[in-house]
Amino acid sequence: MSDLPLIADVAIDLPGRDSYTYRVPETLAGTLKPGDCVGVPFGPRRLRGFVITIERREPPTGFTIRDIVSHQPEVRLPPHLLRLIAWGARYYRCSLGEFLAGAVPAPVREGAAPERLVLVAKVTSFSGTLSKRQQAVWNALPDAPTLLSEACRVAATTRATLDKLAEAGAVTITDDQQVREIRLEARQERHAHTDEQQVAIDTVAQALDAGRSQPFLLHGVTGSGKTLVYLDLAARVIAAGKQVLLLLPEIALTPQLAARVRNRFERVAVLHSGFTDGERADQWRKVAAGQIDLVVGTRSALFAPFPRPGLIIVDEEHEQSYKQESVPRYHARDLAIVYAGQLGIPVLLGSATPSLESVHNARQGRYRVLSLKNRPLGGKLPAPILIDMREECHAQKRTATICRELLTRLKQVKENGEQAIVLLNRRGWSPVVSCQSCGHTLSCTSCDISLTYHRGAEKVKCHYCGTEGPMPRKCPACSQPTLSTFGLGTEQLATQLAAEVPGLSVLRVDADTVAERQGHAKLFQAFSSGAADCLVGTQMVAKGLDFPRVTLVGIVAADRGLSLPDFRAAERTFQLVAQVAGRAGRGERPGTVVVQAFDTEAPALRCAVDHMPKTFVDAELKLREQYGYPPYAGLIRFLWSGESAANVQLVALKHGELLTRVADGCVILGPNPAAVAFLKDQHRWHALIKAGSRGTAQAFLDRVDAAGGLKKEKGVHVAIDVDPYQTS
């Protein structure tokens, strides 16, 4: 044995350096491994970090090396995950420790005591009588056994109510060990495939069997049965002793998918934000120990510490929520492709409206396309009706907000005892309050954003920072009582619809009502059980929900997103309209979609309404190529922010000089004030770098580092966003 001390490089959640050097006490010499979570002294503090390397070597000179002081033997990242995280930290330009902190849940890092998991199982054969409320809870419970915390969330109820149901014999509440017996009662899914589904499954299965790393793009219209393809492939991977990652943009809004997964497989973890710290820690350890076969979760589930991942599935791959908007600013779909390449396994991206990036990759031959064009249950996609609101205003001889077509059809829905969904992607009563005497517009004192009027609360609110206050009676600028509201939000839309259609009961689902009533689960459950004729909501109603009685979907101000200063505006509008259109008529009755817009000639709308995705994609890709945007360019955004406008400007311009010096062919837009130049009391400047590709964008960042990097300046924060999605 050598006399040299055992030295470990430890990544700590701090910006800047990737790792710090510590001595490993001899008591840990045999047990400590790379990927282990340890406690280390840092100045006067004690912090947690992860061991990156460990070896016997000369201790560094120039400072006193300190000892690792604690070790959590139960938290060890597998080497393949550590490799992915190292790749991510380099690509997205944060420290290894910062990336690790984003990838490993805090309760795991901080050593939360695992909590014994309690499961709730529905007795599906139960036929006794329950109170109306108990019955509603029972109906809402998934058939498969569910974690207690999740059951409470899904059924919008409490432990006390579930205990009452258990007393009545309608559910059983047990600990983890007894799951197997309960599961025997769970409903099994039928496995009849369409030819298209079979081809998709066989093609991916070939790559699985050959151990080939291959990205697949499963392009399937809404209702074409993508989930069955996912689950069948997952079953193959699990049978081969490997594990499956299923990423979703959003868990709370897709309860049906989670329920199907739980029905089909035994050892499943559905990761969501409703977990207690102890449950989260327990799940993580089970995954790491190989006791879980399939993880369902949002973007951070990509970092589930599986010992042998065999397949990664990214559902709704076009969704923007895969991009994390704080450090580490990774994109989970993009990172999933990298991970699958490193592991030598297939990755399956699914969508009815694939992102332009993925379509481009498929056209370049990097992804293989699998198409599902038919809907086994839902019949034909409805042909949406596009209404020109300029003509509508002319015909109604007033500033019309709801077209006659939509109102007529809502009346029919009401008469037929069916249901409707009306979508408007803006909450509150009115987005603008301004003075008719002097023209002053109410805006947030902390942001460069106009305040939204909320009539129910009689308040004005900033939707960016949350600041709110009472609705003023007089104009704060000229003191005249002449404040008026302009524009339409969901609150006003719901009121108008109820007033225009006699007897129509309207339920509103947006961030406001969800906050008031504790969760969408309750609202969706109410709508599903027929508590209202019409659901009015923001885009959260557009995600993955199936309501069999919905035969009408309306989209109000469908072109609203097109005016945003964002090169993806058209793509998002197209996806939203196409996705929502796919939600109507998924049951046995045919559906209708009514789309209201002022700019009815916009290609994004026309193509979505006419079911012409290829026409849209071709035209949009051409524009992206012409103007040098992804997928034909690599983008980097620098954002400077701080309390002093002068300082922010000074530092941004100074850093901008360095960026320009190393540009070497990259286009540098800015630095200039951001579109939202003042947000949450911070002044903001930004610069956008356009490089020929993602590779040349990385080379640009290397040149920035080689030139000394962007020097830290007091009071000004600079954020680097690689492949940004937010550009305002």
Regarding 446 and contact with Zn ion (CB under 5 A), the answer is yes
The CA angle 236-242-247, to the nearest 5 degrees, is: 80
| Closest distance to Zn ion from the beta carbon of 472 (Å) | 10
The residue among 412 and 443 lying less far from Zn ion, judged by its C-beta, is 443
| Binding status of residue 477 toward Zn ion by CB under 5 A | yes
By CB under 5 A, tell whether 707 contacts Zn ion. no
Q: Tell me the pairing of strands 347-351 and 243-247.
A: unpaired
Q: Is residue 440 involved in binding Zn ion (CB under 5 A)?
A: yes
674 binds Zn ion (CB under 5 A): no
Q: If binding is defined by CB under 5 A, does position 496 make contact with Zn ion? A: no
C-alpha separations of 396 from 115, 422, 494, 582 in Å: 62, 21, 20, 30
Using rule CB under 5 A, residue 478 touches Zn ion: yes
Q: Does 467 bind Zn ion (CB under 5 A)?
A: yes
Give whichever of 79 and 476 is closer to Zn ion, judged by the CB atom. 476
Region of 191-199, 353-361, 464-472, 627-635 interacting with Zn ion (CB under 5 A): 464-472
- Distance separating alpha carbons of residues 637 and 687, to the nearest angstrom: 6
Contact region with Zn ion (CB under 5 A), list: 47-55, 326-334, 381-389, 429-437: 429-437
What are the strands, taking DSSP E only, across 180-292?
Answer: 215-220, 243-247, 268-270
Does residue number 459 form part of the binding site for Zn ion (CB under 5 A)?
A: no
Kindly state the number of chain residues that form the binding site for Zn ion, as judged by CB under 5 A. Answer: 14
Measured from the CB atom, is 475 or 691 closer to Zn ion?
A: 475
Q: Among 462, 506, 545, 701, indicate the residue that binds Zn ion (CB under 5 A).
A: 462
465 forms part of the interface with Zn ion (CB under 5 A): yes
Is 552 an interacting residue with respect to Zn ion (CB under 5 A)?
Answer: no
Among residues 42, 87, 464, 632, the one that binds Zn ion under rule CB under 5 A: 464
Token pair, residue 728, equals 């305002």
DSSP readout, 554-572?
EESSTTGGGGSS-TTHHHH
Q: Is 442 in the site for Zn ion (CB under 5 A)?
A: no
Residue that is written with structure tokens 């282990």 in the block: 36
**63: CB partners within 8 A, 6+ apart:** none
In the complex with Zn ion, which residue's Cβ is closer, 257 or 435? 435
Q: Among candidates 328, 292, 311, which has minimal Cα distance to 284? A: 292
The residues that bridge with 674 in the sheet, in sequence order, are none
Query: Where in 48-67 is the site for Zn ion (CB under 5 A)?
Result: none
**Interacting residues of 448 by C-beta distance below 8 A, sequence separation 6+:** 676, 677, 678, 679
Nearest residue (CB) to Zn ion, 575 versus 682 = 682
Give the separation between CA 282 and CA 278, rounded to whole angstroms.
Answer: 6
Mention every residue, 6+ apart, whose C-beta is less than 8 A from residue 415.
none
How many residues are recorded in the chain?
Answer: 728
For Zn ion, which residue of 141, 253, 352, 475 counts as binding (CB under 5 A)? 475
Burial (CB < 10 A; 0-12, 13-18, 19+), residue 473, is: exposed
Q: Which of 75, 89, 147, 444 binds Zn ion (CB under 5 A)?
A: 444
Question: How far apart are CB 451 and Zn ion at their closest, in Å?
Answer: 8
When asked if residue 441 is in the footprint of Zn ion (CB under 5 A), the reply is no
H/E stretch holding 642 reads strand 634-642
Is 435 an interacting residue with respect to Zn ion (CB under 5 A)?
yes
Choices 92-100, 468-476, 525-533, 692-700; region in contact with Zn ion by CB under 5 A: 468-476
Cβ at position 482, least distance to Zn ion in Å = 6
State in angstroms the smallest separation of the CB of 456 from Zn ion: 20
Distance CA 404, CA 495 (A): 16
Q: CA-to-CA distance for 549 and 547, rounded, in angstroms?
A: 6
Report the interface residues with Zn ion, using CB under 5 A: 435, 437-438, 440, 444, 446-447, 462, 464-465, 467, 475, 477-478
